[in-house]
Amino acid sequence: MKLLILSMLAAQALAAPLDFADALKLADANEAALDADAKAALMQSQDAALRTATAGCVSLAPGRLPAFTIVMELDADGRALNSWRDSDLPMVRCVERELRNGAYRTTGKGGFFMSFVVSFTP
């Protein structure tokens, strides 16, 4: 069933530009399909990139740090091809820009979608 949904979303992606919600569905499906070792490697590479990006962009945050999600489509080398975000705040745009410069551990196949779901606790 997951494979069918993923295939349908991928076909839709070829037919029309993806919006944030569709990209997030693809990321959720791609990440759910990873085995435990691959998921751990991806999360480790995401964590390192997110810490660096957030540290470099936090000065642009409004008074309270916002929750946000960024989705990225990666090529076979784990580099960003496309990205989407659910917020247009300057800090979130900055984090997205910084995350797009990273390389992430994935399956080694192009068209892999992943997400960064970020929230801050006081």
Number of compact structural domains in the chain: 1
Burial of 3 (C-beta count, 10 Å sphere; 0-12/13-18/19+): exposed
Answer for the pair 74, 114: CB distance below 8 angstroms, yes or no: yes
Contacts 24+ apart (CB under 8 A), 39-45: 41/105, 42/104, 42/105, 42/106, 42/114, 44/105, 45/78, 45/102, 45/103, 45/104, 45/105
For residue 65, the 8-state DSSP code is: P
Residue 25: the pLDDT is: 97
Longest CA pairwise span in the chain (Å): 44
Q: Which of 82, 48, 85 is nearest to 70 (CA)?
A: 85
Residue 20: the pLDDT is: 97
Residue 5: the pLDDT is: 56
Burial of 21 (C-beta count, 10 Å sphere; 0-12/13-18/19+): exposed
Residue 4: the pLDDT is: 55
Taking each helix axis from N to C end, the angle separating 20-32 and 2-15, rounded to the nearest 10 degrees, works out to 140
53: containing domain = 2-118
Residue 8: the pLDDT is: 56
pLDDT tens for residues 52-68?
Answer: 999 999 898 878 888 99
Residue 6: the pLDDT is: 56
Residue 120: the pLDDT is: 83
Residues of the chain predicted below pLDDT 50: none
